[in-house]
Amino acid sequence: MGDDPQGSVQEAPEMRRSSRDHAELRRRLTAWLADRLPAGSSPEVTGLEPTSANGMSSETLRVEVTWTEVGAPRSHRLVVRLAPSPEDVPVFPRYDLPAQFTTIRLVGELTRVPVPPVWWCEPDPGPLGAPFFVMGCVEGRVPPDVMPYNFGDSWLAQASPEDQRRLQDATVAAIAELHAVDRPSHRFPHLVTGTGDTPLARRLSVVDEWYRFASAGGFRSELIERGLAWLHDHVPAAPSGPVLCWGDARIGNVIYAGFEPAAVLDWEMATLGPRELDVAWLIYGHRVFEDLAASMGLPGMPHFLRAEDVASTYEALTGHAPRDLAWYGTFAAVQFGIVFLRTGARAVRFGEAPPPDDPDALLHNREPLERMLAGTYWG
């Protein structure tokens, strides 16, 4: 899911995402910039490092670049986001980098939601070996995924309850602002994907395809298959109309200045669909870490991002009371399971884990998902 281009994070175990040679990437990026910038700019990539604390999908690089402007050298901090290499077990079956670039640009133009400034998009895989785009680097801090921010040793866990609630409400407000975009199907036609008669049916079809991709090569999950069948059997009768959905609406995909969003990141799951997709994802994106904390005997942050609080804040901002959140929360959990399945396969690929006897053992949310399907989780 999301990648963190910038932020203060705690020490965390390194998780390998890519087999790319970063020295070679640095050389090739310098050559690409020389072609992109005006003659005489003499660009030099002086630093390049991958992100590590958040995100397991695209490859995201923090880059320091110097080039000449008006006769003087200028330094720039940029972020380069690349589609992953197929041999590195990508999380998703396809990566439409131009669509992500367009989405970020339009969100910046049409809303007050803060996004990184977008610089260039390169759809040709030739220069770096994969399509990519370039953004400005935004200063701030990100609630870490590794180790999860609610495990206690993070800036967010150590903040006051008032500041935690401030961050929560400001994040819900950003989602509400996205959902207020007028005529989203007209403004974001590139986000209309999948097959079906409704936006929700189309989104379900996309996730069905995603699972078929993720389960290939011996990673079939009986639990995820049961989850998908349950979702199809219990689709909400009257889903809300389509809005612009962020798709991966987690606080780990936000750079915060203090406790206010400074940049909303990671738009590869952006879609047009019911607003509950984002509301439930925000809730479950925290609950998955709470379940992990509880399994380890840690206190977690049970007062934070509670479903009733998120829903009431969202309703106060939009006039829309979220419906069927148990179904949408289960939909989020199934998708998190697909991510865990795929990143588990990646760990096998890089020799960091043995091939599992039971692929369901790769699902970090296995027990909670089983309870959801039994009707004993959401209360």
The residues carrying an active-site annotation are 248
Burial of 49: CB neighbours in 10 Å, binned 0-12, 13-18, 19+: exposed
Q: Helix or strand or coil: residue 261? A: strand
Neighbours of 292 (CB within 10 A): 18
Please give the Cα distance from 134 to 119 (Å, whole number): 5
Q: Which residue type does 35 have? A: D
Sequence-distant (6+) residues with CB within 8 A of 193 are 202, 206, 271
Distance CA 60, CA 5 (A): 7
- CB distance 274 to 200 below 8 Å: yes
Q: Please report which helix (H) or strand (E) contains residue 199, including its range.
A: helix 199-214
Judge if the upstream peptide bond of residue 147 is cis by omega within 30 degrees of 0. yes
- Cβ proximity of 55 and 1 under 8 Å: yes
Please name which of 267, 265, 271, 263 lies closest in space to residue 253, comparing C-alpha atoms.
265
Phi and psi of 250, rounded to 5°? -125, 150
Residues 117 and 150 sit within 8 Å (Cβ to Cβ): no
